[in-house]
Structure 1
Amino acid sequence: MKLGLTKLRLPLLQKLAVTSICCLMFAGCTTISTTEEELPLPQEIYSAKGKFKKEYIIAPGDNIEISVWRVPEVSRVVVVRPDGYISLPTVSQVQASGKSFTELEEILTKRFSERLNEPNVTAIAVKVRDNMVFVIGEVNIPRAIPLHQARTVMEAVTIAGGPKRSGLVADVSIIRLGDDGVLRAIPIQTDLEGQPSPYMAMSIAQLQPDDIIFVPETGRSEVLRFLDDFVGRPLQYVNIIGNTVLSYRIIDQNF
């Protein structure tokens, strides 16, 4: 199978590669933190080629400062309404939800250009929603969850309604983008000697802002598909989730 990935050292080779492929870890963690101890994580399985970064997506409730240079009468702080729109003088209503700040600036520049000469528009976050984590896959309610409500994988999966009967809890995984821009895959390992049970492992696996928790379906082929799609083609597949669950997109670091 050609994944277009940079292959790293594989502990326990085929077994670990199959049981852990479902997780893309976006950060360079080497341990799972607990309140009393630290449990070692297995080494990375794969790392995607290229460097990536997150691009925040505006959502209802966000406070945004809209500034039009030298036109203070239309510059102000606005709150994104529940319907996703903002209201501004001269341009009336503009959809902001689902857009990046760059995209919103482009839309507003075009709208203001109908009334103003070469407007210079900036959109800056004043107050945005809390840090979030995201649960996807074979759970009853895939959703975004405030990080302060779910500090561990177990808490996040529980708030998401728990795993479906088709969910493979032994292969629950964290997806994380590191500060170095590298997309990595590291499992919450539970099937090696000395490692805890799946539920215990999930209860001590600490989360970070923007983590994605993936619960695969029973059947190892799902694990392989997940790695191929999300690590091999993150700009396409991670952003499909971004349109429904996440508060950010993955973009190429060169842009």
Structure 2
Amino acid sequence: MRRRWSWLLALTLVSAGACFEPDHGLIPPAKPVELTSGLSSGDVFEVRVFGEAEVGGTFQVQEDGSIVFPLIGRVEVIDKTQAEIAGLLEQRLADGYLRDPQVTVVLTARENFEVSVLGEVERPGTFGFVEQMTLVQAISDAGGLTEVARVRRVRLTRKTDGGQKTYEVSVKAITDGREPDILLQPGDIIFVPESPI
């Protein structure tokens, strides 16, 4: 009889442990990211000049913080916003090249503005960060969870004021509607471990 009670107690503890879910309240909120802040080296943007299709194009900010633009040559763009770059190009193009140029700058990729999704997902890798990106969205971008994913013990590694820290997240609690989805910030790493059973 004692052996039977011991077995039932052990089974209860195992079941409780299997259903235990981490406290999402321990995760610090994502730091706000201003995607329109000044550009840095490695960023890629597209320039469109109204009525002058051959003048625009796609440009990547070089290590020295500049691009080489048709007609006007080297242009310093480091730490400038898209609107500031457009204004600068309009000014330089109007200086003897084009009459009343109208320039649009569209940011297409930001260096180091990425999140990584690793482990038990269909397509592990690094994905471009977008504004209001969430943990479930990032997992979806990685093709979703595999059949052996441990959905109650997903690990989120984030840079905080106290250094890099790792937190446990229950994706099951989020998809069931018991917890809100978690906003991400650039540099976050999501690791989905394999279920022990």
The TM-score bracket by the shorter chain reads: 0.3 to 0.5
Structure ranking higher on relative contact order (CA contacts 8 Å, 6+ apart): 1
- TM-score, normalized by length of structure 2? 0.46
For the pair shown, which has the larger CA radius of gyration, 1 or 2? 2
